[in-house]
């Protein structure tokens, strides 16, 4: 085996299949097929099961979507394999991208992000109302700095901030927390995800929340549709990657319109982003080619 395509055990051989698992299996098969065309053998392996990567040259992180639920185990797994095999994306990039504090690094490098504050775990009594008052924020979003798929993410309207103080305190006991001014266009415009492979734009989707929600993920009833990115959006995504000290082999750049109607980075996903290969199967050929060029 040349490449291990990492998933998690619930997706390795799902007993109950649905549209969600079908998309996972379909897209990971597309990757396997394109690698095979380049004489690179790949196999799907669950990171959270007993697995043997010793005979593998590269590990491609794809659907390890439970890592934040088992963070200590995941970090131990990374530590164990980082010297045995080549990681795609590399270890240092994964560790940096795990924690949403990376947004502040990118902000310092000139990338527009939603107004953001970080509160360290165990910081004691931190008043959400005071933070909103100091920053002149109204509605806010609170979430752990290490999370995915809107895990423990709450949109807090200005008239409910006091009601969410206990929730925030509970999370802050065990998590560094990120507080952001809520960008209202997420409910109307949505969020655009641009897929970048080898630094180049390949395709994009637009995600919109269901009525009455703010979470765009399809896990929560959001919609995902193909999107043809504008020149401005592609240039913004390129600027984000140019602001890094490294060059990820693949990335997903998530953009929103901020409250001033300017493009803003909501997330940069380098670990295991959903890449929607089904909207552009040719992108898997580009991924396979980039893997071969970098590691074979």
Q: Is 246 helix (H, G, I), strand (E, B) or coil?
A: coil
For the chain, the residue count is 296
Output the pLDDT for position 54. 64
Rg, Å, the chain Cα set: 19
Q: CA 48, CA 139: separation in Å to the nearest integer?
A: 38
Rounded to 5°, angle at Cα 191 from 188 and 194:
150
Q: Evaluate whether 106-112+185-284 and 116-182 have a shared fold.
A: no
Ramachandran sector of residue 124 (left: φ over 0; alpha: ψ -120 to 50; beta: rest):
left
Output the pLDDT for position 41. 96
Per-residue pLDDT tens listing for the chain (296 residues):
799 999 999 999 998 899 899 999 999 999 999 999 999 999 999 999 876 776 799 999 999 999 888 889 999 999 999 998 999 999 999 999 999 999 999 999 999 999 999 999 877 778 888 998 899 998 999 888 887 665 678 888 888 888 888 888 888 888 889 999 999 988 888 999 999 999 999 999 999 876 756 655 655 556 789 999 999 999 999 999 999 999 999 999 999 999 999 999 999 999 989 999 999 999 999 999 999 999 88
DSSP of 239-279? HHHHTSSS--SEEEEEEEE-TTS-EEEEEEE-SS----GGG
Residue whose pair of structure tokens reads 């750049």 in the numeric block:
253
CATH number of the structural domain 3-91: 3.40.50
Least Cα distance to 128 among 95, 94, 99, 169 occurs for 169
Q: Where are the domains of the chain?
A: 3-91, 106-112+185-284, 116-182
Rounded to 5°, angle at Cα 259 from 255 and 263:
30
Rounded to 5°, angle at Cα 260 from 258 and 264:
30
Burial grade of 193 (CB within 10 A; 0-12, 13-18, 19 or more): buried
- CATH 3.40.50 applies to domain 116-182: no
> Is the previous residue joined to 58 through a cis bond, with omega within 30 degrees of 0?
no
Whole-model pTM: value is: 0.92
CATH number of the structural domain 106-112+185-284: 3.30.470.20
Q: CA 282, CA 70: separation in Å to the nearest integer?
A: 33
Decide if 220 contacts 196 (C-beta within 8 A).
no
Output the pLDDT for position 148. 62
Decide if 27 contacts 5 (C-beta within 8 A).
no
Q: CA 45, CA 225: separation in Å to the nearest integer?
A: 29
Q: CA 127, CA 131: separation in Å to the nearest integer?
A: 6
Beta sheet of 86-88, edge-to-edge order = 42-46, 3-7, 58-61, 86-88
Sequence-distant (6+) residues with CB within 8 A of 226 are 203, 204, 205, 206, 279
Decide if 11 contacts 29 (C-beta within 8 A).
no
Output the pLDDT for position 223. 79
């Amino acid at each position: 085996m040349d490449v291990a395509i990492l998933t998690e055990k619930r997706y390795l051989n799902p007993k109950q299949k649905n549209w969600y698992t079908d998309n996972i299996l379909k897209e990971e098969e597309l990757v396997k097929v394109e690698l095979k065309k380049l004489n690179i053998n790949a196999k799907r392996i669950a990171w959270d099961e007993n697995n043997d990567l010793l005979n593998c040259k590269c590990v491609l992180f794809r659907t390890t979507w439970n890592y934040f639920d088992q963070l200590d185990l995941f970090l131990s797994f990374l530590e164990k394999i980082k010297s045995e095999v080549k990681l795609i994306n590399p270890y240092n990039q994964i560790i940096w991208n795990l924690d949403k504090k990376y947004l502040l690094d990118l902000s310092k490098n000139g990338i527009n992000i939603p107004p953001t504050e970080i509160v360290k775990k165990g910081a004691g009594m931190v008043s959400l109302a005071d933070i909103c008052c100091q920053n002149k924020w109204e509605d806010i979003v609170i979430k752990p700095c290490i999370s995915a798929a809107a895990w423990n993410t709450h949109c807090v309207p200005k008239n409910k901030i006091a009601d969410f103080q206990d929730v925030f305190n509970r999370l802050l006991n065990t998590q560094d927390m990120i507080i952001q001014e809520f960008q209202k266009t997420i409910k109307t415009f949505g969020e655009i995800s641009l897929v970048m492979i080898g630094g180049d734009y390949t395709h994009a989707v637009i995600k919109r929340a269901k009525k009455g929600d703010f979470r765009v993920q399809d896990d929560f009833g959001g919609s995902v549709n193909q999107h043809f990115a504008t020149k401005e959006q592609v240039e913004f995504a390129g600027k984000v990657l140019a602001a890094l000290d490294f060059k990820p082999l693949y990335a997903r750049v998530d953009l929103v319109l901020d409250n001033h109607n300017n493009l803003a980075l909501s997330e940069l996903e380098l670990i295991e982003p959903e890449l929607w290969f089904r909207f552009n199967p040719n992108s898997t050929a580009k991924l396979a080619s980039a893997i071969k060029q970098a590691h074979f």
